[in-house]
Amino acid sequence: MRICGWVIRRKTIGKIVILEISGDTSSKPHVIALKKEREPELFELARDLPVGTALCFEGELAPVQKSRRGVEYIAKEIKIYSRPLEPLPVDTIGKVPALLDTRIRYRYLLLRNPAEKAIFKIRESILRAAREYFIKNGFMEIQTPKIVAAGAEGGATLFPVKYFEYNAYLSQSPQLYKQMLMSSVPRVYEITPYFRAEKFDTPRHLNESWGIDAEIGFIESEEDVMNVLENLIAYIVDYIRKNNVEELEILGVELKPLTVPFKRITFKEAVDILSSEGVEIPEGEDLTEAAEKKLGEIMASKGYDIFFITRFPWEATGFYYMRNEDGTTRKFDLDYKGLELSSGGQREHRYEKLVEALRDKGLNPEGFKFYLEAFKYGMPPHGGFGLGVERLLVKLLGLSNVREAILFVRDRNRLIP
Ligand code: AMO
């Protein structure tokens, strides 16, 4: 068996050199012990091999597994491919913890550390599980443009792009396009970046983040959408529990299965719960981050880590959510331990009402003509959601910052690496 990777630790105990190698066949390191008496040449070679060396070895699984840290092999041959030019700027076994800033700067190198790699193996599982769930449930995967002429999530967070002689933007969300497709394909999903020019520097915001977006046609109400979302998340959790046993162990995370349906409370109930704890939300305003956190704590104390907040007030939503008679909308949020993971809802599919909604939000329907057109030819009632990948990963693994959950960070202060 040929195994390749990088030396992350070298230890000499008398006449034995132990190498720990981070490779790609398992999250745990590969461990080879080289004995002076058994393999004198390899022992000599390994004795002064610096941490960071890229190598491959021919070997087989050791019949007796003594190492608690990794999988042990007996090596027959070692081939060195590249030695580091200088000592590594970070500790790739994670004994010396790095500051978040350093972790972000040297993420490409720190992925040799089993714990850092485990986070991203689980991120990969989230996306794999989502695809699997959507395929099983008859959704079609779509890709929509990331250079757009109009945004759906408010003008303040659009990144302008010069597009030949036109003014364009980076896409904040596939919102408009996934809705347009409801006029022909009633179940779609997209795994997509969101570009948002949010200026704040918080543990929950990135300027380039990733979302799992879905849109479903012929629905009766937003309940149908919530149903897909809660089942998707429960499916993702089950998938990780099944497929990432090693990674969860490395991270020391005990991931519990989620039971559907998730708890639902209305926005008004949320406001009342907060008010009874002395947190007042002015009428027509959205929950602040602090209020959301507080609500998360109160709900967790009642046994609900994850819950929906439904029927948001019209003033606190995008133009595309359907309005109820009472001034509320069919928009919901999904919160997990005080953090919003997802927003969604039933949309306005009636042409006239949609034009009215754009005007009510102070937007010019002319700028949305291409989108509005799709509502003229038999648009069914529909709804969908956007689920934040980094935020989901943060909550599942108990991380503290979305910057820990994306390989290369784009935020207010980072455009490299
Ligand atoms: P929303 O704006 O709530 O809804 O975005 C959906 C989810 O995406 C994640 N998210 C972010 N994560 C990190 N940094 C950001 N700057 C960021 N912005 C969003 C959050 C959020 O809940 N079009 C609607 C969805 C829909 O109705 O289908 C939308 O974009 O987890």
Query: Cβ neighbours of residue 36 under 8 Å, at least 6 residues apart?
Result: 15, 16, 43
What tens digit of pLDDT does each residue of 222-258 get? 999 999 999 999 999 999 999 999 999 999 999 999 9
Q: What is the CATH classification number for the domain harbouring 297?
A: 3.30.930.10
Check if the beta carbon of residue 276 is closer than 8 Å to that of residue 313.
no
341 in any annotated domain: yes
Q: Which residue, 115, 127, 142, is CA-closest to 216? A: 142
| Confidence category of residue 97, pLDDT binned at 50, 70, 90 | confident
Q: What is the pLDDT averaged over residues 102-124?
A: 96
Report which ligand 1 atom has the smallest distance to the Cα of 205: 14
Give the pLDDT of residue 23.
87
- For the stretch 148-159, pLDDT in tens is 998 888 888 999
Does the beta carbon of 223 lie inside 6 Å of ligand 1? no
174 CB within 6 A, ligand 1: no
Q: How far is the CA of 268 from the centre of ligand 1 (A)?
A: 22
What does R_g of the chain's alpha carbons equal in angstroms?
A: 26
Q: Which of 30, 343, 347, 348 is catalytic?
A: 343
Which residues have CB under 8 Å from 88's CB, separation 6+?
Answer: 51, 52, 109
Query: Do 70 and 127 fall within a single domain?
Result: no
- Are 33 and 71 contacting, i.e. CB atoms less than 8 angstroms apart? no
The whole-number average pLDDT for the span 362-366 is: 95
- Claim to verify: residue 123 and residue 39 sit in the same structural domain: no
201 and 339 together in one domain: yes
196 CB within 6 A, ligand 1: yes
State what percent of residues in the chain have pLDDT above 70.
100
Query: For the residues 129-143, what does the mean pLDDT come to?
Result: 98
Could you give the dihedral angle defined by the CA atoms of residues 304, 305, 311 and 315, in that order, rounded to the nearest 10 degrees?
140
**Residue 201 C-beta-side C-alpha neighbours within 13 Å:** 4
Measured from the CA of 347, which atom of ligand 1 is nearest? 27
**30: domain CATH number?**
2.40.50.140
**123 within a domain of the structure (yes/no):** yes
User: What's residue 21's pLDDT?
Assistant: 97
Interval between CA 386 and ligand 1 midpoint (Å): 6
Give the atom of ligand 1 at the shortest distance from the alpha carbon of 333: 22
Q: Which of 111, 56, 60, 100 is nearest to 78 (CA)?
A: 56
Catalytic residue among 58, 153, 223, 340: 340
pLDDT, tens digit (0-9, with 9 covering 90-100), for 310-358: 999 999 999 999 999 999 999 999 999 999 999 999 999 999 999 999 9
Kindly state whether residues 184 and 52 are assigned to the same domain. no
Residue 413: inside a domain: no
The neighbour count for residue 60, using CB atoms within 10 Å, is 10
Together in a domain, 239 and 338: yes
* DSSP-derived pairing of the beta strands 187-195 and 140-141: parallel
Q: What is the pLDDT of residues 319-332, one digit of tens each?
A: 999 999 999 999 99
Residue 9 CB less than 6 A away from ligand 1: no
Ligand 1 close to Cβ of residue 403 (< 6 A): no
Q: 408 is written with which tokens?
A: 């290369």
Is the domain of 202 the same as that of 285? yes
Q: Is the CB of 59 under 6 A from ligand 1?
A: no
Asked whether the predicted pLDDT for residue 25 surpasses 80, the reply is no
Grade residue 401 by pLDDT with cuts at 50, 70 and 90: very high
Residue type present at position 228: V
Q: pLDDT band at 284, cuts 50/70/90?
A: confident
Domain boundary among 71, 88, 105: 88
* Residue 92 CA to ligand 1 centre (angstroms): 33
Which of 23, 53, 88 is the last residue before a domain boundary? 88
pLDDT value for 295: 97
Looking at the structure, do residues 311 and 190 belong to the same domain, yes or no? yes
Q: What is the mean pLDDT of the chain?
A: 96
Output the pLDDT for position 308: 98
Domain count, the chain: 2
Average pLDDT over residues 15-26: 91
In the predicted structure, residue 24 carries a pLDDT above the cut 80: no
Provide the domain limits for residue 35: 2-88
Give the rounded percent of residues in the chain with a pLDDT score beyond 90: 94
Residue 260 pLDDT exceeds 90: yes
Same domain, 68 and 206: no
- Domain annotation covers residue 44: yes
| Domain endpoint, select from 54, 73, 88 | 88
Neighbours of 376 (CB within 10 A): 9
Position 414 in a domain: no
Residue 349 structure tokens = 């599919």
> In this predicted structure, what is the pLDDT of residue 68?
84
Q: What is the pLDDT of residue 67?
A: 84
pLDDT of residue 27: 86
**What's the pLDDT score for residue 155?**
83
What pTM does this model have?
A: 0.96
Residues 130 and 267 in one domain: yes
**Residues 60 and 194 both lie in one domain:** no
Do 47 and 129 fall into the same domain? no
151 with 273, same domain? Answer: yes
User: Ligand 1: does its nearest atom lie under 6 Å from the Cβ of 153?
Assistant: yes
Task: Tell whether 102 is covered by a domain.
Answer: no
